[in-house]
A and B are shown apart, each in its own frame.
Chain A
Amino acid sequence: ETGVTQTPRHLVMGMTNKKSLKCEQHLGHNAMYWYKQSAKKPLELMFVYSLEERVENNSVPSRFSPECPNSSHLFLHLHTLQPEDSALYLCASSQIRGGEQYFGPGTRLTVT
């Protein structure tokens, strides 16, 4: 596997479900990011981890809970979501210095 991978690619969940999104980077980077992309809106940064420490939390509701167990893996735990949370969720990684971001293919989330 190369680059940044995300699983699952598609997810449909009810408002009472709990699910997790997974991201893995194979680039030796030390920073990882979660973004949300909704129709007609700019990409929104949700969370940033640098050396496995959360360094940005962009006023994201607590129903989204990130986890970064090591520099290669990033999770986004989801619970009691709302229909307006339906979006494309993108993971990215970079070196802290320099900072060229590389993105995964995204998880298309639909909340019913």
Chain B
Amino acid sequence: KQEVTQIPAALSVPEGENLVLNCSFTDSAIYNLQWFRQDPGKGLTSLLLIQSSQREQTSGRLNASLDKSSGRSTLYIAASQPGDSATYLCAVRASGTYKYIFGTGTRLKVLA
């Protein structure tokens, strides 16, 4: 059974820091992995999608990597800003299914 874990659960950093959020999964047979952000009481905003054949994806200050063999993905945020404060979620889609398994998220606070 696929399990997705995100560490740390919460993170507080000063503005301008580069930071790394971690996502690990137990079954390497995945179709893709997606990173989202969620603001309080709101829906999820897609940040990056990595297909199982890819190693990384970049969008602006965000870079996500995928290592299927070790069951890990990292989200790198460069030069963090107060507007980056949100909960970050990763989700894994299992191969051959439509089933997405979400982690519990990392709650990020960037201090001005």
Residues of A whose CB lies within 8 Å of any CB of B are 4, 6, 31, 33, 41-45, 48, 50, 55-56, 58, 88, 90, 92, 96, 98-106, 108
Contact = CB atoms under 8 A, between A and B. Distances in A.
A102 B98 contact: no
Contacts of A103: 36, 43-46
Nearest to B42: A105
B99 interface: yes
Contacts of A48: 98-99
B98 A31 contact: yes
Given A90-B43, A105-B43, A106-B43, A42 B31 contact: no
A45 B99 contact: yes
Interface stretch (B14-22, B71-79, B89-97): B89-97
B47 to A, nearest CB: 10
A58 B46 contact: no
A101 B49 CA distance: 9
B83 interface: no
B60 interface: no
A49 to B, nearest CB: 9
Name, among B44, B49, B99, B104, the residue most crowded by chain A CB atoms within 10 Å (CB to CB).
B44
A56 B102 contact: no
Contacts of A44: 102
Nearest to B103: A42
Contacts of B43: 4, 6, 90, 103-106
Nearest to B36: A103
B99 A43 contact: no
Contact of B49 (A4, A33, A99): A99
Interface in B12-66: 31-32, 34, 36, 41-46, 49, 51
